[in-house]
Chains A and B, each alone.
Chain A
């Protein structure tokens, strides 16, 4: 039988490979983004939230810990990168929750039956949760300038890319969690929330981990998020050194592990 004939007009059987994954990722990402484009209100809310958080928590932090804790810099310079990591953490760990909706109808299954590569499903969805962060990050950075924040655009941009790579890994894990807990949606939320807060606190996002007891400092070394926060703090302060390098390493490892787990779960999950 001739294979070419089996393929419908207007479509082509494409070769697998990196180019294919990138192209598929673009389609998956774009489909997800259509939701934001068709309903831009959600984006406005997502911009207001971090601003409110920064405005209410920032001053408290400066007052409670004292300016000396931040090496004499504005507490914003220290705190703002943490907020960016936090938004990324909350956003990308929700990747699976948006999938749950599609799992309940048939639309996830319909998409699984298309030739889209499996990793592109994970990356595309995770990137959608990350994309608003670029805008959010820039808005809170600009809004903080009048309060003593020094803005290094290129460093900040690079910082957003690094957190994006980390977000792909976390998003893929969240996606896998949604598949594994299918039919028991509350389990997804239980696991996601239970993991989220210790990860967040032990990374020093909210308060400096150096101020905590020794055991917390040790635990924080095993938390990939710690390296993300440290890298972002260095970058947002206009630096580029070891912290950034370790952050990139942590982000890449998270992405590789997340995608490996995610693809495996997709292939072995039965709907």
Chain B
């Protein structure tokens, strides 16, 4: 569905050249759900804008839905759907008018467009707001309207740029429910950008981590976490048992770091343990056998933030502000 080679975008800002995207190679197969994850300014949106022909690449090539983005941008646009960061509906327009016009823009006739609009309004729970002016919709309703606009022509490949930014958790869940349902019903290929870790983690099957205009990791969220981060294990033992446990955990942690804090006669060890959930029971058994039982144990599965931290040495949560 998507194939890029050495896709590059350079902006010139005040005579200074800024490489926003540095030669990325991306392949997305039909039916995949892929998230571009990275901090603000990493080049996710710029990449997406090149794939949707809103920006011309500086160099490199991209084929989207079988069409070259440089040679035939209009051909690409007629085959894809795009839901941008902003609200797509014109403020002074009525919901139904904008939807029908959108269908017309894609070459649908009025009857088909009206039928499709009604169907989308119903499934996105907007049917009562058909004649409402867009400026009078709530934030969540407007975002659902954006989704409806993006789906009017039933694209087989849909791009979403930061789909849930600024939405409350309930609306976000609601939005995802609609996107997922559409995907199950029509097998739509979906490419989205996000800086919400949880979103990339739970919703997408494949995560492409982008930082400073480059792809630094590309795999399923589960694989990335298992390979790059491992579970976070915290064990508390009595001060007397500490030396024994230090040895045991030190061997388990291998190359990783073993952190140690003490309070109220209790020693707390923390370490990153690849495949920790499987290794933890054995560790506990060894500790028991050594006469150094655990008082308390915590096992936290890794997050994509841990992956990002491992890859870049920075946390994604504060990444935007650095």
Report A's interface with B, CB cutoff 8 A. 1-3, 5-14, 16, 24, 27, 30-31, 34-35, 38-39, 101-102, 105-107, 109-117, 267, 270-271
Contacts and interface: CB of A to CB of B under 8 A. Distances in A.
Contacts of B90: 31, 102, 105, 107
Interface in B74-104: 74-75, 77-80, 82, 84-94, 97, 101-102, 104
Contact of A116 (B55, B65, B105, B155): B105
A16 B78 CA distance: 12
B52 A105 contact: no
B94 A270 contact: no
A39 B65 CA distance: 40
A242 B1 CA distance: 58
Contacts, number: 125
Given A16-B74, A270-B11, A270-B55, A114 B102 contact: yes
Contacts of B11: 270
A111 B105 contact: yes
B206 interface: no
B291 interface: no
Contacts of A24: 105
Nearest to A109: B84
B149 A110 contact: yes
A105 B154 CA distance: 23
A39 B106 CA distance: 26
Given A106-B146, A109-B88, 12 more contacts: A1-B1, A8-B153, A11-B154, A12-B107, A31-B97, A34-B101, A105-B88, A107-B86, A109-B86, A110-B150, A115-B107, A270-B54
A183 B40 CA distance: 20
A115 B106 contact: yes
Contacts of A112: 54
Contacts of B74: 16, 115, 117
Which of A8, A39, A270 gathers most chain B CB within 10 Å?
A8
A89 to B, nearest CB: 24
Given A107-B89, A115-B78, A30 B101 contact: yes
B66 A8 contact: no
Interface string B229-250: 0000000000000000000000
B86 A113 contact: no
B67 interface: yes
B92 to A, nearest CB: 6
27 contacts: A1-B66, A3-B67, A5-B156, A6-B157, A8-B79, A11-B153, A27-B101, A31-B90, A31-B97, A39-B92, A102-B90, A105-B86, A105-B87, A105-B89, A105-B90, A106-B88, A107-B87, A109-B86, A110-B86, A110-B89, A110-B102, A110-B146, A114-B102, A115-B75, A115-B106, A115-B107, A267-B56
Across the A-B interface, give the 3 residue pairs with the lowest CB-CB distance, nearest first. Answer: A106-B86, A110-B88, A115-B78
A6 B106 contact: no
Nearest to B149: A110
Contacts of A9: 154
A78 B80 CA distance: 54
A196 B77 CA distance: 37
Contacts of A34: 93-94, 97, 101
Nearest to B11: A270
B87 A106 contact: yes
A7 B155 CA distance: 7
B252 interface: no
Contacts of B87: 105-107
Nearest to B133: A38
Contacts of A267: 56
Contact of A6 (B79, B94, B97, B104): B79
Which of B1, B49, B105, B157 gathers most chain A CB within 10 Å?
B105
Which of A30, A114, A267 gathers most chain B CB within 10 Å?
A114
